[in-house]
Chains A and B, each alone.
Chain A
Amino acid sequence: MHHKKKLYSVAAMAAAAALTLTACGGGDDGGDGGGDGDSVRIGIKYDQPGLGFSDGGEYTGFDVDVAKYVAGELGYSEDQIEWVEAPSANRENMLQNNQVDMIFATYSITDARKETVDFAGPYFVAGQDLLVRADDDSINGPEDLDGKNLCSVTGSTSAENVREEVPGVNLVEQSGYADCVTMLGSGGVDAVTTDDIILAGLASTDANQGQFRVVGNTFSEEKYGVGLPKGSDQCEDINAAIEKMIDDGAWEDALTSNTEGADYQYNTELNPPTPEACAS
């Protein structure tokens, strides 16, 4: 009997370890859920140049700039911000498990996501677009993709969209957009597809400048929101901060400086957006 009990506790430990591993993502699980604690934990991408990028301890990009502005408006100075990496697949989990206080990570507002998390914003309306080689003028929109090789990220909304939009396309799925851009450069694929601002960020890195062109013919609407834990009371304040950022010109500055050298113009019909009403 004693033996059996031991077995149970080992099993429980294994289960606990598995849960901790699933919730990986770094950052300590501090107890305070934001508000006027001494720091704020913000989830961003670390691998998306132009939006959220970790460059040897420096964090750059449009998401980062908006996050800094909003945090400033909420009363946090820049050194009170604790940056946490929030990969796409982990975002809901990180909010639900209280690993971050808010997420600025190309996080599209969707109804399915609203079931588990709250959103403030949007602070930008992106659209799915194509990145092609600068000297390639044969592709100017999704209608030119039939029979062409196209790259996107495994399991992403962009990959699924384009599969429906252009059934004749040869879709290569890679683990990250950087791999896709490598393929585009070496000629394995003819275009890379995802949200226009992500493509612009990729095309504006030092290594890629001048080599690629964002087509500028968007065929979807992705509203980038600020991910918050369900029932958060900060949505209104964040929306006010976003509106202020747009009004005083900081929003426009952040956008231009982060997509410099990419030959990119954001969709001015949809931007700058007006934040939506907060849930409940």
Chain B
Amino acid sequence: MSSYFADFASLFEQFDVFQAFWVNIQLTFFAAIGSMLLGTVLALMRVSPIASMRWLGAGYVNIIRNTPLTIILVFLVLGVWSQLQINLSSDFNQNFFRYAVIGLAIYHAAFVCEAIRSGVNTVPVGQAEAARAIGLGFLPSARLIIFPQALRGAITPLGNTLIALTKNTTVAAAASVTEISALMKSMIEFRPDVIIAVFLTVAIGFVLIVVPVGLLTTWASRKFAVVR
């Protein structure tokens, strides 16, 4: 058994596991920002008084949410990069990192939009009516009255989306980003003797990253909840 642990330890000398996890964290960070921005705009569209905007928002959410993430990333790399030859960076590997961030942001924006929309639904309709009564238009009332309350009510679903995003960064391997799931494939290829340890390392790594996110979400949703 002790030799198994020695083999296991040598895994960390042979492969840079921490660097690979760091790539996943970076992907999560940038894609979270991107999907939050895009998702907020989509949510605005979906609750707007303009019918064509609502359709556009609903269309985006229904199409993207029902498309597998792998398909989106493979499309970006095989279609947009290889076929159309569009480079997002002069650095070869950075180019794929950016494609992966864009793909992840596009996909998760649909979920962020729905999370925020569920938050909007927690705001009593009287708030919107009061905003209209004092003469605020759609955008000012959304910015000043509705969304601040909606975001506070949407913390839990947004946290769930963030957790899903964190784990979905492993799909970035499909976009040629060397993150932990790509490294895991290398480790399985070269070190099949410690295959169980390889799986456990990756699984425990994700638990260590995701559990704090969950705890933070729970704490924040209590702290910032709108008491009604």
A residues adjacent to B (C-beta < 8 A): 22, 88-89, 91-93, 112-113, 115-117, 149, 154-157, 159-160, 170, 172-175, 179, 182-183, 186-189
Contact = CB atoms under 8 A, between A and B. Distances in A.
A27 to B, nearest CB: 19
B26 interface: no
B174 A182 contact: no
B74 A179 contact: yes
Task: Sort A-B residue pairs by CB-CB distance and give the 9 closest, nearest first.
Answer: A155-B185, A188-B82, A155-B186, A115-B193, A92-B192, A170-B92, A183-B82, A173-B176, A186-B83
A157 B190 contact: yes
Nearest to B203: A18
Interface of B: 74, 77-78, 81-83, 85, 92, 96, 173-174, 176, 178, 182-193, 195, 199
B189 A88 contact: yes
A187 B178 CA distance: 22
Contacts, number: 72
A187 B187 CA distance: 30
A106 to B, nearest CB: 12
Contacts of A173: 173, 176, 178, 182
Contact of A89 (B78, B83, B189): B189
A93 B199 CA distance: 12
B165 to A, nearest CB: 20
Contacts of A160: 186, 189-190
A156 B199 CA distance: 17
A159 to B, nearest CB: 8
10 contacts: A89-B185, A91-B192, A112-B190, A113-B192, A154-B185, A160-B186, A173-B178, A174-B77, A186-B82, A187-B85
Contacts of B186: 154-155, 159-160
Nearest to A91: B192
